[in-house]
A and B are shown apart, each in its own frame.
Chain A
Amino acid sequence: MEQEDLIKKWLDNNLNAQELEAFKKLDDYEDLIRLSDSVMRFKAPEYNTSEELDTALSHIRTKKQRSLNWLKPVLRIAAILALSFSVYYYTTTLDTNIATLAAQKTSIELPDASLVSLNADTKLTYNKKSWNKNRDVELHGEAFFKVAKGSTFSVKTPSGTVTVLGTQFNIKQRNNYFEVVCYEGSVSVSHKTDIVILKPGNSFLIIDGKLIAKEKETSLNPSWINNESYFKSMPFALVINEFERQYNVEINPQNIDLKQLFTGSFVHDNKELALKSITLPLNINYSLQNNSTIVLRGE
């Protein structure tokens, strides 16, 4: 037993001096030392920790780079591409809408540099995507077009279609009212089954389905472009409608013949003056009920 303890302590390098002496006196001492020394020759190959650490670190770093620096940016780029493409696709195939409210005017440039001025309470729709193939716009209301030369330019309105190549013209399409005035070039107007070609100064006017002849237009622009509405022998009802659109008010006519013809104009930036312009010539009294209602009373 004592021998076994000594050997165990020797194995653990735990012998004190006295025990070492005792251990050396063991019969097996030579044998054990020889065995122990010989075993030393089975030593594992040299292990260079720092070298191995470098290998491991370079390995995990390249892995990290591969997963962080390569995959993530690619995914990000892919996401951005997918997103921008869908936004691009969505916006370009969508129709472009431009609308003005009452008492509001605006001017826009179409993709081919054609200019369109919109009068009050007007809606214009066109498609940017198919613009190169067909220059089509849809119009509800009144607009003045300066069309750049090029392929056929069509304006579709509920009352008829106006087709041109490159010119300047005004379209006014309101309830029961359709007027096209050509200021430059030539304009083709199709209304129901009729097709009319307009030369500069010519107009095409339909009121309540009846074609009405008009004198030659001498101005270069429609009057509303210059903030003025001009009427020549127009039923008074149309004048009132236009007034309502320009000033965003409601007009309440009482005891007035709305079919009587009116010739004259009113400005768009002075309500009092404009009211006088349309009432005085016809001997009409007006009273402002509140900001949005005007009562006209005939005598």
Chain B
Amino acid sequence: MAKDISDNICDEHLFSSVFIKYSKNLHDFLYYKFGEHFNPKDKVQEAFIKLWENCAKVSPNKAKSYLFTIGNNLMLNEAAHQKVVLKYQKEKPKQYTNENPEFILEGNEYMDKLQIAISKLTEAQRSAFLMNRIEGKKHREIAEILSISTKAVEKRIYGALKQLRKDIKEI
């Protein structure tokens, strides 16, 4: 993967390996943080192209934080702290077999509440929590992605969980 023997990532193979290593994480991070309204896929592309243009100045071990900073900034330029509403998939998970209309109604109600609650989380809480719950990332991995300590990640995720449960009950 990203090797330290090279002091820049102007080589296409090195660039590709960096892309394979970080692009999905960056995409998921941007999605959970900002929602899909501002097209995280395009921002990932843009961030990597910026990385390529400045490849001579960025060493492989700096590439990750460079990419996440660029991606984050690209988003912030457009999003400017707007309310983020994530969509949930409408199809019902298979394990619910006893689908009476009441249950479906209740389920939908719950999802709507959850949706609102998630959108109310801070960006930091939401991105950490969803990367943990949905992408199944360990606290340590998230800490690495966000360049923060494991303790901070744990705090964010637990805080998000508490907040969600509180909000769902109240709504």
Chain A interface (Cβ < 8 Å from any Cβ of B): 4, 7-8, 11-14, 28, 31-32, 34-45, 47, 49-50, 52-53, 55-57, 59-60, 63
Contact = CB atoms under 8 A, between A and B. Distances in A.
A47 B24 contact: yes
Given A11-B157, A11-B161, A40-B133, A35 B168 contact: yes
A42 B165 contact: no
Contacts of A38: 88, 110-111, 114
A31 B134 contact: no
Contacts of A42: 86-88, 114-115, 118, 130, 134
Contacts of B154: 8, 11-12
Q: Most B CB atoms within 10 A — which of A7, A12, A34, A40? A: A12
- Chain A contact residues: over half helix, strand or loop, or mixed? helix
Q: Top 3 closest A-B pairs, CB basis?
A: A44-B31, A41-B88, A60-B52
Contacts of A35: 114, 161, 164-165, 168
Interface stretch (B41-49, B56-64, B71-79): B41-49
Interface of B: 12, 15-16, 19-20, 23-24, 27-28, 31-32, 36, 40-41, 44-45, 48-49, 52-53, 86-89, 93, 110-111, 114-115, 118, 129-130, 132-136, 138-139, 154, 157-158, 161, 164-165, 168
A33 to B, nearest CB: 11
A195 B133 CA distance: 113
A53 B19 contact: yes
Contacts of B87: 42
A49 B24 contact: yes
B166 to A, nearest CB: 11
B161 A7 contact: yes
B108 to A, nearest CB: 11
B23 A53 contact: yes
Given A12-B138, A57-B12, A52 B88 contact: no
Contacts of B138: 12-14
Nearest to A11: B157
Contacts of A47: 23-24, 27-28, 41
Contacts, number: 106
A127 B158 CA distance: 92
A24 B110 CA distance: 22
B20 A53 contact: yes
B62 to A, nearest CB: 19
Nearest to A59: B49
Q: Most A CB atoms within 10 A — which of B20, B52, B157? A: B52
Contacts of B32: 44
6 contacts: A12-B154, A32-B165, A39-B114, A49-B19, A49-B23, A56-B49
A51 to B, nearest CB: 10
B20 A49 contact: yes
Contacts of A31: 165
Nearest to B155: A8
Given A44-B134, A47-B23, A49-B24, A56 B168 contact: no
Nearest to B47: A56
